[in-house]
Amino acid sequence: MSNVNNPFLQENNLKYNVKPFDKIRTEHFMPAIESTMATAKENITVIKNNTATPDFENTILALETCSEDLDTIIGTYFNLYSAESDGQFKELAQRISPMMAEFSNNIILDEVLFEKVKSVYENIDSLNLNNEQIRLTEKKYLGFVRNGANLDEIKKIELRKLNQELSKLSPQFSKNVLDATNDFELHITNKVELSGLPESALSAAENSAKLKGKDSGWLFTLQMPSWLPIMKYADNRKIRKAISTALGTLSVGGKFDNSGILKQIAKLKHAKAQLLGFESHADYTLQERMAKKTDVVMAFLDEVKETAMPTAKKDVAEVSLLAKELDDIDDFSSWDFIYYSEKLKQKKFDYDEEELRPYFKIENVFDGIFTIANKLYGITFKQLTDIPVYHSDVLVYEVTNDNGDFVGLFYMDMFPRETKRNGAWMTTFREQGLYKGEIIRPHVSIVANLTPSTPDKPSLLDLSEVRTIFHEFGHALHGLLSDCSYQSLASPNVYWDFVELPSQIMENWLLEKEALDIFAKHYETGETIPQEQIEKIKSVQHFNAGYQSTRQVTLGLIDMAWHTQDTSFVESVEDFENSIIEELRLLPKVEGANTSCSFGHIFGGGYSAGYYSYKWAEVLDADAFELFKEKGIFNQEIAESFKNNILSRGNTAHPMDLYLKFRGQKPDPKALFRRDGFIK
């Protein structure tokens, strides 16, 4: 294919240099990657052959910018891989991932390059560098060391093999989870079987059936907006069990089995860590985390467990007692917990989450969160209709500050489809920082799978979906408000156990009347959400908090178990997982089910030895929001401090130093326990 017809290899004259999604096709990626990789290799050769004394510009900065075009294309590919891709598109990952692994290895294991980087690092005090230049130099040097630059040639060859194998396995793990998710359908033709389901869920399921070519009935899938109403409201215990079992056994056995793949991933990561001089993958990973050491993470998880477990046991006992009272359930199981929790919530608080949906029309939610961002950080969102998008669901906004200066582009892609993986996430199509010799502004995207509209009703969200928007929008603000010199240091490229602070702190505004009054308006009448509904929302915040915390600890322990030891001895994934979480089990074990086989965060994403960071960041956000509560949730001085010391700074300093500048004290775990109602 000629460069003339390849949008990646043509001059981009579009507004803000946006991606020409309307012109990008699957067949464009490989030629573009091969072409830009060749250019990147030429740039590397120039760095190596430079006879001048290594310094920041000719070595560190040159490495930072050597593969700008390649990185842009690779980022675009993997963003589309998750958000909008068919089987043919996904197959490319088996070619692209090994190519990129080899490219990275050839840089990081090159002795000439390392000696140049090492020379700059060792002479850093004499080079008159500013703080960001020093930080970038330190990060480049550590990146070489952590990725094997000090290994002998035999070990470097071994490391290359490990990296190549891992580069193929993680995409395959993710693909299996997505394929298994899409493979499941529950088609119900008798409406009597769907007793208890709200009209919103029935309408969505009926629409899904029509879209799938069914003559009649209601179709349910393993996309969250489809399965969650079943688990919450379906009186039919058999249907709840079918959905629950399908979720619990996702990619366990069958044609999309991940058990062998995940064992191999864990084995290879352990081997790689040991090759690099670490006891385990967790020790290797945590060197670049706030927690720093495995025993710190385990102690933290243990503290949360000990604090939450008594409440968690009470939570489950109370729900199971209601199941016995209402329906004489003696064998209370995982497919009963959510359903009877909703019943208990209604009984104790007169709370029905479905009553809130009319107040959470998705357009109103985004208008509201844009207003909140404006009140906090002085930025404005304006929808653009002349920007190419990769799917008709995607909306694009221009973000500007109070001076009218361009802050960045914001993409949002909110509804489920078969070409999109499950869950919700934030990503970037262009990171803030140096590019082509200029400091550029970012293009940020959030992607989710929320309740779509139907022919009868607009998209009306439940509270958990609104919370998802606030969470991912917090990540987006982190990316949009970044103000760094270099892309690799820009937000949100921070320590993994710090990156969730900007997202999780945003969730707090959702529970404040002052914020809810901005956007929670009935989609038909325009009336603001009644005070009694706000009181109900606040009253249920401690409901099942013990259970939810224990669930997070359980996931954190599963993650650490796979990554703190050599797991070559593991034969049965199910048995291994059970041995780790038995003392935390709150509901009866389901035979054949396990979490690991669909645990995309740790086997398909970047959270290996890092899932604890969700709870870790909850401590940070609870402690930080106490300051907002004390001074006012829209206090300009505190918001400006959070923006200048946290959101804009990226990885230009250690996160604890940044946090101390904002908060004036180290984060206090008791702030989280107070918020969850475990202590007063």
Which residues form the catalytic set?
472
For 28-41, letters b (16+ CB in 10 Å) and e give bbebbbebbbeebb
Closest CA to 492 of 653, 652, 609, 651: 651
- Give the separation between CA 378 and CA 370, rounded to whole angstroms: 10
Residues forming a β-bridge with 521: 528
For 402-426, letters b (16+ CB in 10 Å) and e give eeeeebbbbbbbbbbeebbbbbbeb
CB atoms within 10 A of CB 156: 19
CB atoms within 10 A of CB 392: 6
Closest CA to 201 of 232, 180, 178: 232
Residues in the chain, overall count: 680
- Give the separation between CA 453 and CA 462, rounded to whole angstroms: 13
**What angle, rounded to 10 degrees, do the helices at 224-233 and 334-349 form?**
70
Residues forming a β-bridge with 446: 412, 426
Q: How many CA atoms lie within 13 A of 596 on its CB side?
A: 29
Residues forming a β-bridge with 186: 220
Give CA angle at 97 (278, 260), nearest 5°: 65
- CB-based contact 444:413 (threshold 8 Å): no
Cα 340 from chain centre: 29
CB atoms within 10 A of CB 472: 22
Cα-Cα-Cα-Cα dihedral sign, residues 151, 94, 494, 16: positive
C-alpha gyration radius of the chain: 25
- CB-based contact 200:457 (threshold 8 Å): yes
The token pair that represents 521 in the structure block? 């308006």
Cα 41 from chain centre: 32
> Any idea which residue has 């979720």 for tokens?
247
